[in-house]
Structure 1
Amino acid sequence: MADDRLVQGRYRLLDTIGRGGMGEVWRALDESLGRQVAVKCLKPMGPRHEPGFLRVLRERFRREARVAAALQHRGITVVHDFGEDDGTLFLVMELLTGRNLSQLMDDNRHAPLPVPDVIEIAEQLTAALAYTHEQDIVHRDLKPANIVRTTDGTVKICDFGIARLNHDIGFTARLTGSGVAMGTPHYMSPEQIGAGTVDHRSDLYSLGCVLYEIATGAPPFNQDDPWSVLVGHRDTAPDPPRTRRPDLPEPYQRIMLDLLAKDPDDRPPDADELGKRLADARHRQGVRGPGDATAPTERLPPWTRGMTHGSPASGARPPRRTVLDRSAAVLTAAWTGGQGAPRREASPAAGTAQPAPSDDAPDSVAALTARLERSHTLARAGRHFEAHQIAAEVLAGRERVLGPDHPDTLSCRHHLAFGLARLGRLEDCCAMARQVAEARARVLGPHHPDTLATRYELAYVQGQLGKWTEALWSYHEVAAARTETFGADHPDTLAARYEVGISLGRLGRGAEALTVYRDLVAARTRAQGADAPETLRARHGLGVSLGRLGRWEEALAEAREVATARERVLGADHPDTLVSRREIAVALGWLGRWADALSIYRQVADARERVLGAAHLDALASRSDQAQCLDQLGRTAEAAALYRRVAALRREYAAGRR
């Protein structure tokens, strides 16, 4: 295939990533969307190949396209397109930056990988297989060369060329009957070797072989003769991994040996159960993982660094950096040859290589970026209409230059959506934010932080609209996804769990909210410390929940402790401190101690007036609290005078807004 060929009028082949007897993998530019991709091509065959054999290869290639395109998971390589061009079948996939596990082992001179790496790879592969098996698909060729660890730490399964749909037995039989090898000897399950029934447990056996190899430096059966390897899988018990790797924790040895059981019934029943066993092993061994709050920052994927939940509906995101990636690009199959790709620009946020701008684009891209920053600046200054107009123009420009699904385009759409909320167009914001979340899930993956950020802020707007049931559901899903991606104690996970508590409270489900806040206080104390502002915020929520359940003595005690801590940490006039002091007054009122409550309400109102101004809405709310308290004490004349003052200030505030 000639260099610089345009496949189907769209994919410009740039250079070869891998080459083998049956095909090639090219780095290519998708000229329609302006992104780099990997194009896998099945070479035209000459008459030396038996026609039946060629038909099987072509059917396998088409099958890989159909199966892989149906899978949408961050642990599965994304397939964008498939077709035939001038007699050549082609498959278009995301261009990965990183190394497959076989290359990692070669880089490490076949020494075992560090135990934390083995554990992290095991957990990510298990999650991907659990998803794949839920779709009723069995990979059947899981091996180190088909597993890529990208530069951001994500582990991805590739090459579904001989994957089997469980219900598609006839097709599988026809393929096997052709004599085409269905698997790789070092990683084949006994039932594959013996032509037995192959189901999802065969993938678990192959996973055991992969984990055994990266943990010990060699596959469980490593003879030079392929037949001896197959006999080993069928008849011989593997050496326990700890005989080769003594520092491997015992629970992980047990898991590997169970995966390598000859009888499928003796293996874990499914990947979900395997995932639970891996989580239990991590917990019992105290092994730090990428989501653990106590783990070093560098164990997290690069796109998690500096990530916070941010201000609701702010649309804020860390500045995007472009770096030169010197890792190899890899599309893994037996025939790719494992050849590296030349250097290219990479986007850390997407986790896949992105195109360097074309020669006529840099000025346009830079100008659009500068204009979007101008929009952000205007929004921060409260000039939301102007900010929205500029963001809309930038979005149109990015769609022209980068394509509608480029991560930077989706970032602009995210900003535009939540700009609508700042303009008071909450329903329009919800509709657009849903579209952005769906697009980000499709392009980046449902658990990518950008996807979750959009869904998180969408939930906040749903709450503003009073759609608390929808908001609760959204927050629950984001919290679960962040737990899986980052770990239970990661700040972003905890932020979502906090909003779950808020939503439950708004729905009157006080007992459930109380449980959420108790767990959250424990998690934040463990992860951030007892005096961290976010820990104190969770404690405040706990106190409010106690009050909603009528447990006012407990609520009062909690409010006093939180107010004291906030004053020490944040200062006496900090808004959070004043909120806690107001909660003390609320509890005192419910306990009938109105004189004590009045003193605190007055202190809070004075502080807010001093800091925010007399006409600020929070200051006015505090004066209203004070007036109500005066009414409860029978001091109606004073209450009436204060109500009149509040009403006048509200009119003044409204006039100023106009």
Structure 2
Amino acid sequence: MAAGDNGGHHSTDPAVPGSAAGDEGDGGTLVQGRYRLLELIGRGGMGEVWRALDEALGRRVAVKCLNPVTGRAHDTTFTRMVQERFRREARVAASLQHRGITVVHDFGEHDGVLFLVMELLDGRNLLQVLDDARRQPLPVPDIADIAEQVAAALAYTHGQGIVHRDLKPANIIRLTDGSVKICDFGIARLGHDIGFSSRLTGPGVAMGTPNYMSPEQIGGSGVDHRSDLYSLGCVLYELATGAAPFDLGDAWAVLVGHRDTPPEPPRGKRPDLPADLERLILDLLAKDPEDRPQSAADVCGRLKAMRAAAGTPPYQSPAPVPAWASGLTTGALAHSTRAHRIAVPPTPGITGAWSTRAVPAQAAPGVSAALAARHTEATTLAAAGRWQQAYDLHTEVAAGRDRALGADHPDTLTSRYEAACCLTRLGRLEEALPLHEYVAAVRARVLGPDDAATLAARHEAAFAMERLGRHEEAHTVYREVLEARERTVGPQHPDTLHCKHNLAFNLGQLGRAQEAFTMAVEVAEARARVLGADDPDTLVTRFEVAHAFGRAGQWEQALETYQEIARARAAGLGPDHPDTLAARYETGICMGRLDRTAEALALFEDLAEARTRTAGSADPETLRARHALGVNLGRLGQWDRALVEARDVAAVRERVLGPAHPDTLVSRREVAVALGWLGRWPAALGHYHEVAEARERVLGPAHPDSISSRKDEADCLEQLGRTAEARALHRRMAELRQEAAEER
């Protein structure tokens, strides 16, 4: 389900699909000629939530219908005001694009009822999670994980100047894969503005839910983003103890508690709660906004620091790495050099007669032929990389085939499948996934679960899950598709190997490195036999093998493999193709790890020029190549040139990514390093200090990167003869390390 509870009671679990109220093609109310209401899944004070089918795209959605205000329905002036404010708030909600925020697809008005169309989520809101657990507290890792995801989403929305105003467990959805989404942005403010709900205490109290309202909301004073942080503190307190901080039953007593009473420390109710998590919760619950963390990014940084102190450390190479190379990273891992799309063989001899709907009279041969021509046109657009135009046309053809042939006809499903593939290429994975899942489910019912077309849609769905970070779920689907393909077409078929390649990559994302490496080697050898040693898909898998070599510290083997891939890609794709350049970049990284600095420098000089020529000076891969060039210049003692490169890269990254982005800060540090080697210590100190301050704000003071930056600053102070300040900073870093070790 896409929307949280609005204060009412859900008659059914809003997150788990159930039987529809009517046939998806014919039953149920049709909203705006597009959204078929199938099943009521939630009802609250502000309206109803329905599971629905978007008949234009063939995807399941949630439709929230907002109740008209009692007694004002015939006031035309008031109605216009309601509609205008609704459009304003809905546009705000629809503009939010973050993995931690429910996607709003559409909004409008139908027969006098305002409605929002949102993604349909598979999960439970936190109120339901607590109720299911009979109000038992959640495990500490779950609390920290939820808190970090919510804080990251709030940091994004607050950065857009948007405050939620009604953050509560019922408005936070935890999906089955563990990811978390906030819903109902703008709804609380809309309700406040137009009086959907009665105020609790009359004109002085702002809209909100008593158990989670900030003191400034209660007092009717100015509300900013820090009000959301107070509400987050209330939510975390409830997750940690099973009860809200002022769970007093009477609404007025609750409000007075928020305004005047210090909360009982949660460790008094739950002694095993970590002290740093309790401290964060109590800081969020400060009565004065000035005493709270001042941004959601600060909260996120503190949570990351807690996780780093308590969790598993990141993978460390068993081989020694030169200190000068520690800041270099490999490029993005490749999935495929081709457009990610599984070809679906045609299904001959099938007509619309078997469809769940009768074929309309206008489904004449000429209509089908015209739609087929339009389908071919859309496919041509996709082949040219014009993904948005291809998506629009495939969607149009799908709607036409739906009308002419039926929703379940193979041709209709093919058009929906192609539209979903376009969404994947556009990076709109949260839209692509439900469409692929819909196509896969219908194909399984109509064609069978092992049909090639069904498996193609399931494969694409798994790929979208993987890209969305839902790796466990993707693993399950990949494994099932692989088993079906091995059973139906054999273990050496290209589609089987394609699925096995994706499964191997996903295993690496799950931290199962040895399994990933073994499987990648198997796929590379099989693809070489079936497709040829220089086939692009063979080279993609060999790229993953080389990456695994590097991750294990076997840099000689990694270098040799990357060099072979680069030569093959240059011959087959051209020397300036992005995939060729990606292999050359990894070759340079391996050379650096092996102390072959002069060779690495020459390679990165050529690579930076090629990237600038083909992708532009601000492209991330151009900047990555220039960063590596600067590092190698420094390694060879060419610090004047290294400083120029570092400054240029830092300036572009700050403009494109922002001043606090990790890549920007890495480049700022390189500027400081070069200044230090040139003896310009006062200037270097300024850069070291600014980097340290930024990392502490984002990551927290105990994060390893923050501590490393403070050490840089202390070393620079020593170079300037400011020994006492340097010692004080070193002592502070030692204390933070000790605290982190004790927490572990």
What TM-score comes out, normalization by structure 1 length?
0.50
Structure number with the bigger relative contact order (C-alpha 8 A, sep ≥ 6) is 1
Greater Cα radius of gyration, structure 1 or 2: 1
What TM-score comes out, normalization by structure 2 length?
0.44
